Amino acid sequence: MTQHSIKTPLESVFDFDYSVRFPQLDRLYENAKRDQWNVSTAVNWDRPISGPPLNMNLMPICQTQVYRSLSQARQDLLGRKFAAWRLSQFLHGEQGALMVAAQLVDAAPDLDAKMCAAAQVMDEARHVEAFRKYITKLDRIYPIDPTLDRLLRAVMAHERWEPKYTGMQIITEGLAIAAFRFMHAQTGDELLKELLEYIMKDEARHVGFGMLALRDAVRKLSPTERKALEDFAFAACDMTITKVTDGVPRDGFLSYHQVFDEMEIPIGRMREEMRENQGWKDAERAMEKQFNSMLFVDTLIPCLRQLELLNTRTQPWYEQLGVLALAA
Lowest mean pLDDT among 26-40, 80-94, 180-194, 271-285: 271-285
Residue 166: in which H helix or E strand, if any? none
The predicted model gives 59-68 an average pLDDT of 90
Q: What is the rounded distance in angstroms from the CA atom of residue 262 to the CA atom of residue 283?
A: 24
Q: For 143-169, how does the pLDDT look when each residue is reduced to its tens digit (9 = 90+)? A: 999 999 999 999 999 989 999 999 999
Is it the case that residue 247 has pLDDT exceeding 70?
no
pLDDT at 98: 97
187 CB-near residues (< 8 Å, 6+ apart): 51, 52, 53, 54, 55, 83, 193, 196
Pairing type for strands 243-245 and 248-251 reads antiparallel
**pLDDT class for 277, splitting at 50, 70, 90?**
confident
**pLDDT over 70 percentage in the chain:** 96
CATH 3.60.21.10, domain 70-327, yes or no: no
Average pLDDT estimate for 6-16? 85
Quick check: helix, strand or coil at residue 247? coil
Q: Tell me the average pLDDT across 121-133.
A: 98
Q: Domain locations in the chain?
A: 70-327
Give the amino acid at 163. P
Question: What pLDDT is recorded for position 233?
Answer: 97
Mean pLDDT for 100-114 is: 93
> Residue 317 phi/psi, 5° resolution?
-65, -45
Give the pLDDT band of residue 216 (cuts 50, 70, 90).
confident
Residue 58 DSSP class: G
Whole-number percent of the chain with pLDDT over 90 = 73
Instruction: Give me the mean pLDDT over the 76-98 stretch.
Output: 96
For residue 174, the model assigns a pLDDT of: 92
115 Cβ neighbours under 8 A, 6+ residues apart: 25, 26, 29
Q: What SS3 state is found at 328?
A: coil
pLDDT above 90: residue 276: no
pLDDT interval class at 246 (50, 70, 90): low
State the DSSP code for 246: T
For 159, other C-beta atoms within 10 Å of its C-beta total 11
Task: Give 78: exposed, middle or buried? Use CB within 10 Å, 0-12, 13-18, 19+.
Answer: buried
